């Protein structure tokens, strides 16, 4: 039985460096090896250093790896690590597209190996509260989900900070894949996966990039609910407002406050039975919860949960099997925006892959 998990950290850029710092304070695991394609990024690390992830994986120095490379490498590195019997925690998005993500799931044959995704927003008490309310049927049947998440503003300097960023070939997408991986995960975690999306996307609308930096998507759910998902990296000041309308009331999350108005009679029942032609279902006073004091353990929480799952002490907060859904949703929006037509979910990953490759092949974009 492992007592201290020997961790290998692959990718020591912005996110990887934060993980390294965080893991120094987490009990029960020790970073024994790191890997970055750029050796200078590992200068200050005292343990084993590799510039090639295969060497780290085969070094015998680690029980588990945390992968924080650009997205495309998530696939090859996690598959190799699983095949070598290592536990894997992979950054979001779990892959650049659903075609690669499926290969990762297929490689997860040994279910004793923990395969987790860094969906740190799942540790946020505000989203956990909303998920509990939905799971406990406090809201009743959901009829509409709206998320305006336009506070992902990014400058052009951000996009030039890595040559891989914001290119079809290097990153595989834009705001849907990178920033919104979190929001797409939360929206499907709480409200389920839509069965159809119709999206309007802006490719390089606000920045000199080739991928999407604005999206407005209509969501349709099999139970009849609809939704709208709006995002942008070009809008300031942006908005982060998630609203769920359901039979038993309405919840709004904005500015880290939750406002819930409860219908005392389900709205469809009231609509059918009320005699007053302009009546409204009787409702509670607005219940307000304030989450401005903290947003939970975030990355640290996911790493601790990964450790505990390896030790057999906890269920995973974000298994990779669930991480594929946000990717599928984002890929469906991208495909819909490119084809200018509705796209059904489950997404045909082979079709997506062939359309996606057309974007790569036709790219004549030269990044400044
Ligand atoms: N969970 C979050 O909140 C969060 C936040 C930021 C980034 N991320 C994710 O982390 C990943 C990395 O993002 P970043 O912002 O740190 O990027 P970055 O460009 O700052 O760092 C990437 C690092 O990976 C290294 N690298 C590239 N290819 C490699 C390979 N094949 N093997 C080993 N090292 C390699 C690069 O040299 C670089 O140091 C992305 O997938 C991103 O989506 C997650």
pLDDT in tens, the chain (368 residues): 668 999 999 999 999 999 999 999 999 999 999 999 999 999 999 999 999 999 999 999 999 999 999 999 999 999 999 999 999 999 999 999 999 999 999 999 999 999 999 999 999 999 999 999 999 999 999 999 999 999 999 999 999 998 899 999 999 999 999 999 999 999 999 999 999 999 999 999 999 999 999 999 999 999 999 999 999 999 999 999 999 999 999 999 999 999 999 999 999 999 999 999 999 999 999 999 999 999 999 999 999 999 999 999 999 999 999 999 999 999 999 999 999 999 999 999 999 999 999 999 998 776 66
Q: Taking the domains of the chain in order of start, what are their residue ranges?
A: 5-121+298-318, 122-295+326-362
Q: pTM above the 0.85 mark?
A: yes
Give the position, in ligand 1's atom list, of the atom nearest the Cα of 164: 19
* Ligand 1 centroid, distance to 158 Cα (angstroms): 13
Task: Note whether 33 and 49 are within 8 A (CB).
Answer: yes
In this structure, the residue with its CA closest to atom 33 of ligand 1 is 36
Does the domain at 5-121+298-318 match CATH 3.40.50.2300? Answer given as: no
Atom 21, ligand 1: which residue's CA is nearest?
13
Residue to mutate (ligand 1; options 70, 72, 159, 318; most atoms within 8 A of CB)? 70
Place of tokens 């950290």: 9
**Domain 5-121+298-318 shares a fold with domain 122-295+326-362:** no
CA–centroid distance, 11 to ligand 1, in Å, is 5
Ligand 1 mean position to 67 CA, how many Å? 8
Output the CA 170–ligand 1 centroid distance in Å. 12
Question: Looking at the domain that runs over 122-295+326-362, which CATH code has it been given?
Answer: 3.30.360.10
Index of the ligand 1 atom closest to the CA of residue 69: 24
């Amino acid at each position: 039985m492992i007592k201290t998990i020997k961790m290998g950290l692959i990718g020591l850029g912005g996110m990887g460096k934060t993980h390294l710092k965080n893991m120094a304070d987490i009990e029960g695991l020790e970073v024994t090896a790191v890997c970055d394609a750029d050796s200078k990024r590992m200068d200050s690390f005292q343990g084993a250093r590799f510039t090639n992830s295969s060497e780290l994986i085969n070094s015998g120095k680690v029980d588990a790896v945390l992968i924080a490379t650009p997205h495309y490498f998530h696939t090859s590195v996690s598959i190799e690590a699983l095949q070598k019997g290592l536990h894997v925690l992979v950054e979001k998005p779990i892959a650049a597209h659903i075609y690669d993500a499926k290969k990762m799931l297929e490689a997860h044959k040994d279910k004793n190996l923990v395969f987790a995704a860094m969906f740190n927003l799942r540790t946020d008490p505000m989203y956990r509260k909303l998920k509990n309310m939905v799971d406990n049927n406090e809201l009743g049947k959901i009829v509409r989900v709206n998320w305006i998440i336009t506070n992902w503003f990014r400058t052009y300097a951000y996009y030039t900070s890595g040559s891989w960023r914001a290119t079809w070939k290097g990153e595989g997408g834009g705001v849907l894949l990178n920033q919104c991986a979190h929001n797409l995960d939360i929206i499907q975690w709480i409200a389920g996966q839509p069965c159809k999306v119709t999206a309007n996307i802006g490719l390089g609308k606000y920045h000199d990039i080739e991928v999407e930096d604005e999206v407005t998507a209509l969501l349709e759910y099999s139970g009849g609910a609809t939704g709208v998902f709006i995002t942008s990296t070009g809008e300031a000041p942006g908005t982060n407002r998630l609203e769920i309308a359901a039979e038993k009331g309405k919840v709004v999350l904005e500015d880290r406050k939750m406002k819930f108005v409860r219908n005392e009679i389900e709205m469809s029942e009231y609509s059918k039975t009320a005699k007053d032609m302009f009546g409204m279902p009787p409702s509670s006073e607005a219940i307000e919860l304030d989450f401005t004091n903290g947003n939970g353990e975030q990355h640290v929480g996911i790493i601790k949960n990964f450790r505990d799952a390896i030790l057999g002490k906890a269920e995973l907060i974000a298994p990779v099997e669930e991480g594929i859904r946000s990717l599928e949703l984002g890929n469906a929006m991208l495909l819909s925006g490119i084809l200018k037509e509705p796209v059904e979910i489950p997404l045909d990953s082979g079709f997506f892959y062939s359309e996606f490759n057309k974007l790569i092949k036709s790219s004549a974009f030269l990044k400044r």
